[in-house]
Amino acid sequence: MTVNFQYVNTDVSETLSQFTKEKLEKLNNKFEFLISAQVYFKHDDKDHQAGKICNIELSLPGPRIFAKSNEREYELAVSATINDLRRQLEKRKEIYKIY
């Protein structure tokens, strides 16, 4: 699975990219039909409580899956987004089961 990163209003972080890749690889091992992922990290100056936004869009057969979270740290945002994607993928996997 190919992973593309975009950083908006924030500095590029190799450790954050590596952390996200590891999380996405775990998803890819469980759901083998994933093709690619677009990851967007954004910083919102107006939100003083959180402001660290992570958007992930997964490409797979059928409609794309998208999840977004806004937390106080990027690592928490990535984890919350991955959990949302996992739930959506489990629902999608039920469709692919052959009876």
CA dihedral over 82, 84, 90, 96, signed as positive or negative: negative
CB 14 within 8 A of CB 41: no
Phi, psi for 68 (deg, rounded to 5): -145, 145
The answer to whether 85 and 65 have CB atoms below 8 angstroms apart is: yes
- pLDDT tens digits, 62-99: 889 999 999 999 999 999 999 999 999 998 888 766 55
The 10s digit of each residue's pLDDT in 7-34 is 998 899 999 999 999 999 999 999 888 9
pTM beyond cutoff 0.75: yes
